[in-house]
Amino acid sequence: MTILMAYILRTLLFLLLLGFIITIGSAYGWIDVGFQHIALSIPLMLFLIFVQAFIMFYFIGVNKLIENVMGVLYSKTNLKELFDEIPSDLTPFLKKVNQLHYTTTLCKRQTVPWTALILVLGIAAFLLGGAYHTGQVSKNVHVGVVLGFVMAFIIGFYKEWKYLGKAHRLLRDLKKTFDLADHRM
């Protein structure tokens, strides 16, 4: 299941992008979907929170999995979880897992801040939209935060897409290193 997770998250990320294109197109009058952009933004913000939190915890979880494997290798306890027959020399495995750990840490550092920024700016843009419609802030404030959110989302989308692919290949590599079937771990 962890192998398919990158594809599921990429699909959710693409659906989120599509939802933002439709919502922004509706706000500017480019697309008529039968709803105002306000009605579209409410479920879209809930979906944004779900998808970004899911992606954030995916990268944290992949990194934690590699750390757990490192812990097993360094402590030399519970080696039966990784090997059918325990090898006498764990050095090549330690070297490979250290490389994987570095890469997962990089993936996490490259994506988690963007997910947090996307969440904060998205929620701020949503709340400022409500403030604009109640007359509390000007339209320029709402539109400015939305444009900042869109730029953060574009950059974050690229990074998340890229590193979801890397994490997917990384998990495959980890399983191949220990000759594990896809259903294990």
Q: What is the pLDDT of residues 84-103, one digit of tens each?
A: 777 788 888 889 999 999 99
pLDDT exceeds cutoff 60 at 25: yes
> Would you state the pLDDT for residue 180?
73
What's the burial of 153, exposed, middle or buried (CB within 10 Å: 0-12/13-18/19+)? buried
Show the domain range for 103.
2-177
- Domain membership flag for residue 182: no
- Domain membership flag for residue 79: yes
Which range has the worst mean pLDDT, 29-38, 80-89, 127-136, 144-153? Answer: 80-89
pLDDT exceeds cutoff 70 at 19: yes
Contacts of 134 (CB under 8 A, 6+ apart): none
> Would you state the pLDDT for residue 4?
82
φ/ψ of residue 182, rounded to 5: -60, -30
**Which single residue is written with the structure tokens 């030399």?**
76
Rounded to two decimals, what is the model's pTM?
A: 0.85
pLDDT exceeds cutoff 80 at 23: yes
- Domain membership flag for residue 102: yes
- CA-based nearest residue to 126, from 47, 54, 56, 57: 47
- Domain membership flag for residue 183: no
- Domain membership flag for residue 161: yes
Q: How confident is the model at residue 34 (pLDDT cuts 50, 70, 90)?
A: confident
- Domain membership flag for residue 40: yes
143-184 confidence digits (pLDDT tens): 999 999 999 999 999 999 999 999 988 988 888 887 777 666
pLDDT average, residue stretch 67-71 = 89
pLDDT exceeds cutoff 90 at 39: no
> Would you state the pLDDT for residue 56?
94
Q: For residues 97 and 70, is the Cβ–Cβ distance under 8 A?
A: yes
> Would you state the pLDDT for residue 88?
81
Structurally, the chain folds into a number of domains equal to: 1
Distance in angstroms (rounded) separating the CA atoms of residues 25 and 19:
10
- Domain membership flag for residue 95: yes
